[in-house]
Amino acid sequence: MTSFTNKPGRAWQVSTGILLVVCIGLLIALIVVASEDKTTTKLVTVTSDGQEVAECGESNPNGNSIDLREPSSPGPFHDLTEEEMKKLRTFLQNDPRIRANTFEEIATLNTKSSYAYMVDLWVPPKSEVLDFLDSGGPQPARQARVMMFRGDKSPPVVEEWICGPLPDVTNCDLMNFTNRRNPVEFESRTILVVGNYDYVIDFIFHQNGVIETRLMSTGYIQGNVFRAVERQYGFRLEETLTANLHHHMFHLKVDLDVSGTSNRYETLNVEPMATKICWVR
């Protein structure tokens, strides 16, 4: 008698058995983990006076705590301390160039006031920090960057100052770099190509609300052959080339409806002028 073996069916049975064993093992591991002690430690913060204050229901299994006490000698990258910020605020209020408003004047602040919008640490140059950390050099002086809203100036601007050394501030310098302006206005630029001209149009949004429009023309000059009798009508650029006098006129309309929907406008009428051409007899 010949017997036949169903090999694919037997392989399927073996695979099923292996998967069943794996599933049972995972189930046992899950039960063991779930039955372990899940005791957690409340997360607390330590204030500057040494008191422990529990966070709002936060907990972690490692028992870590956050120490908020400020260092007596902050390093190059420590945030500004409470003492540094208080002394800096006093200096800003008394500096005649800045005249920052006091806390008592906060209720009366308006767009014509001078007040500090933001204060943060001004990181020293990398070379000085590396010299201090790696070579035992002197610690770089700590400085603060102050962003001031100067509504008391005309026009109003936003200024950035570098003040130091902390905590006993003695001077504030207006932040100036060769590759940026201070204050900085928002500017949008577009370029139009018309014929041989490239018109560069800048829309400058000043911080006092003024919108300035600036147009510049560049590109290739479209000139004529130079003739002495036409000298009064243009400029001689080369021996045989003259650039004719002409006008570029632009019409820009801005309708913001800031104070109602009524509009004002003016017109400019251009009329031809009769003149005798020198080469026509």
Is residue 36, in this structure, part of any structural domain at all? no
**89 and 161 share a domain?**
yes
Q: Out of 90-99, 225-234, 254-263, 267-276, pick the least confident.
A: 254-263
Whether residues 167 and 92 fall in one domain: yes
Domain assignment of residue 142, yes or no: yes
**Does 33 have pLDDT greater than 80?**
no
Q: Strand 197-205 and strand 171-174: pairing?
A: unpaired
Over residues 155-184, the pLDDT tens digits come to 778 889 999 999 999 999 998 877 766 666
List the one residue out of 85, 120, 118, 114 whose CA is nearest residue 98. Answer: 114
Q: Which residue has the higher pLDDT, 44 or 207?
A: 207
116 — phi, psi (to 5°)? -80, 125
Of the pLDDT bands very low, low, confident and very high (cuts 50, 70, 90), residue 245 is confident
Q: Are residues 202 and 243 in the same domain?
A: no
Pair (114, 169) in one structural domain: yes
Q: What per-residue confidence (pLDDT) applies to 105?
A: 80
Cα atoms found within 13 Å of the Cα of residue 96, Cβ hemisphere only: 0
Residues 87 and 138 in one domain: yes
The number of distinct structural domains making up the chain is 3
Computed over every residue of the chain, the mean pLDDT equals 80
Task: Mark whether 86 and 168 lie in a shared domain.
Answer: yes
- CATH number for position 138: 3.10.450.40
Averaged over 132-145, what is the pLDDT? 93
Q: Is the domain of 134 the same as that of 163?
A: yes
Q: What confidence score (pLDDT) does residue 281 get?
A: 58
User: Which of 113, 140, 174 finishes a domain?
Assistant: 174
CA 50 remoteness from chain centre: 37
pLDDT bracket for residue 7 (50, 70, 90): low
Q: Look at residue 45 and tell me if it is in a domain.
A: no
Residue 168 and residue 215 share a domain: no
> 235 lies in which domain range?
222-252
Burial class of residue 148 in the structure, from the number of CB atoms within 10 Å of its CB (0-12 exposed, 13-18 middle, 19+ buried): buried
146 has a pLDDT exceeding 90: yes
116 and 133 belong to one structural domain: yes
Residues 87 and 165 in one domain: yes
Provide the pLDDT for residue 155: 73
Question: In this structure, is residue 88 part of a structural domain?
Answer: yes
154 and 214 together in one domain: no
203 inside domain: yes
Residue 266, pLDDT above cutoff 70: yes
Residue 229, pLDDT > 80, answer yes
